[in-house]
Structure 1
Amino acid sequence: MLVYLLRRLAVALCVCVAVSALSFGLMFVVGDPAVAIAGAGGSARDAEAIRHAYGFDRPYVVQYLGWVGHVLRGDFGQSIYFNMPVTEIVRARLPVTAILGGVSFTLALVVAVPLGIVAARKPGGLTDRLALLLAVTGQAVPSFWLGLMAIVVFGVWHGLVPTSGADTWQGYILPVVVLAYSAMPAMMRITRSGMIEVLGTDYIRSAEAKGLPTWQVIVGHALRNAILPLVSLAALQLGVLLSGSIVIESVFALNGLGRLAWESLLRADLPVVQAVILILSLVYVVLTTAADLVNAWLDPRIRGVR
């Protein structure tokens, strides 16, 4: 296990270096960043002054290493639009995205796994058909449309919950439910397919023949093997919920990282865009690495143990 752990950590470190290089390179994708910062009304002299002040006239490698050094100290530079440290802006917006993504993921997982298990018990039955209908609907309906309908029905018509903002915990109810509903179908379907495959194996039939309780057969024997692909998918889904909530944050006017990234792109606030992309990319790396380690712990074959 230790060898597998070190190998996965080495791969994760290489990915982190690549992600940091790509994040820094975004500064130059738009062309000359000094011209972008100067804006449409800026002169060539303004652009040259900005180029010298920000160090854009130095070699690319020198700029990158200097940027990495500051990032490792928690310094992402100064926001061009807000005129304040990027770290402070991200720190203020991060809790909204973390709460929204974390609670949505938990709700989706709590609903998807039991529903997938129940559906797998009798494939083709009424429960299975209803679960698949729910999954297909969740994948087909756009999250922004579902969010708007939720606002109209529960916020405007009935006034049950706030329609925007996150001043109170009630403001998270609608966006959490909408985001969870969009993440639930994939996890439910992979749980269902995994359980159907495992429940048809000989060792499960032997456990049932011994008279073991149904819950013990499912939880103690079947779920451990069926859950392996779910762990990997769940890690990706959590990353999507944390980084891809820009639509939901915009619909419900939540000031999270997703909305911050979109606003910064429109304003050409490149240091903020760099910071958000780097942070969310590293979240993906950490989650996928953690999923691989969990799967290796659940299944010794993954880490080469025979």
Structure 2
Amino acid sequence: ILVQYLDWLQRAMGGDLGKSYYFRTDVSALIGERLSTTMTLGVCAITFAIVLSVPLGVAAAIRPNSLIDRLALFLSVMGQALPSFWFALMLIVFLSVNLRILPTSGSDTWLHFVMPTIVLGYYAAPAIMRLTRTGMLEVLSTDYIRTARAKGLRPWVVLFKHALRNAIIPVVSLAAVQFGFMLGGSIVVETIFALHGAGFLAWESITRNDLPTVQGLILVFSLFYIVLTFFADLLNAWLDPRIRIS
């Protein structure tokens, strides 16, 4: 088994991931066909999560223990507590079966990505929102923020130019990690909504014992995770001059 694995790893470094037992085609070409759908879903979902969570976290930090803060906490708890498959089914019942405004399956138009984006994005948003709130609370209590306010700078300048830029640094790393989790966690969502992406391919391969395809998908997802983490570190270094790469 060890010799077989080392042989597969050597061929994988050259781009040869083997041949699928079930689909009877090269695993590299098969993953390449499906990966675009998963990447589109992941980008839409992380964008939705950031747009939803960062403003909510900033608003909660500006007015702690207020109604908006309690609402943010409630949404955060609900986002972590709701199983993604249950939330997906409830969206299908409400938006597709009852209201009939969104399609239930497929990936032909952008409408097919709306519900999967909401499910994946809402699951990632609570962690980003909590970290944004915590970071903003810490930054707003620092001396340089008090100095900026004492100099008479406008509130929005203090908030967005000085406070948010420093508070957003750990959020960038978390968003990269969450995006990596989305690529792996898209299996359930893509299966429910019949999106023929890499996640759906993983489910098909696992249920059909297609080992070369499963190995190839795990390798691709792992490489994406490593690359995302690396670029997140580079972006952090750009945002914070105190972070240097030697």
TM-score range, shorter chain: over 0.9
Please give the alpha-carbon distance, in whole angstroms, between the structure 1 residues aligned to 2:239 and 2:97: 47
Gaps of 5+ in 1: 1-27, 29-58
Task: Give how far 1:134 is off.
Answer: 1.1
- Counting only pairs closer than 5 Å after superposition, residues 282-301 of structure 1 correspond to structure 2 as 282-301=223-242
The one-character-per-residue Cα deviations of 1:138-161 (angstroms, maximum 9, x if unpaired) are 111111111000000110111100
* Residue in structure 2 matched with residue 208 of structure 1 by the alignment: 149
* Residue in structure 2 matched with residue 186 of structure 1 by the alignment: 127
Return the TM-score normalized by structure 2.
Answer: 0.94
The one-character-per-residue Cα deviations of 1:6-52 (angstroms, maximum 9, x if unpaired) are xxxxxxxxxxxxxxxxxxxxxx5xxxxxxxxxxxxxxxxxxxxxxxx
* Residue in structure 2 matched with residue 53 of structure 1 by the alignment: none
Task: Give how far 1:268 is off.
Answer: 1.2
Please give the alpha-carbon distance, in whole angstroms, between the structure 2 residues aligned to 1:213 and 1:140: 39
Task: Give how far 1:248 is off.
Answer: 0.6
- Counting only pairs closer than 5 Å after superposition, residues 98-177 of structure 1 correspond to structure 2 as 98-177=39-118
Please give the alpha-carbon distance, in whole angstroms, between the structure 2 residues aligned to 1:285 and 1:241: 14
* Residue in structure 2 matched with residue 15 of structure 1 by the alignment: none
Task: Give how far 1:114 is off.
Answer: 1.1
* Residue in structure 2 matched with residue 254 of structure 1 by the alignment: 195
SS in 2 for 1:212: coil
Q: Is the 8 Å Cα contact of residues 102 and 242 (structure 1) preserved in structure 2? A: no
Give percent identity, aligned residues only.
56
Instruction: Provide the aligned length of Structure 1 versus Structure 2.
Output: 246
How large is the Cα RMSD of the aligned pairs? 1.6
* Residue in structure 2 matched with residue 303 of structure 1 by the alignment: 244
What is the identity, as a one-letter code, of the residue corresponding to 2:85? F
The one-character-per-residue Cα deviations of 1:226-274 (angstroms, maximum 9, x if unpaired) are 1121111111001011121111111111111112112211211111001
Change (3 A) 1:158 1:210: same
SS in 2 for 1:244: helix
SS in 1 for 2:195: coil
Please give the alpha-carbon distance, in whole angstroms, between the structure 2 residues aligned to 1:209 and 1:299: 23
The one-character-per-residue Cα deviations of 1:133-185 (angstroms, maximum 9, x if unpaired) are 11111111111111000000110111100011112211111111111111111
Please give the alpha-carbon distance, in whole angstroms, between the structure 2 residues aligned to 1:160 and 1:174: 11
Return the TM-score normalized by structure 1.
Answer: 0.77
Please give the alpha-carbon distance, in whole angstroms, between the structure 1 residues aligned to 2:5 and 2:183: 26
- Higher mean alpha-carbon deviation, 293-302 vs 165-174, is at 293-302
What is the identity, as a one-letter code, of the residue corresponding to 1:228? I
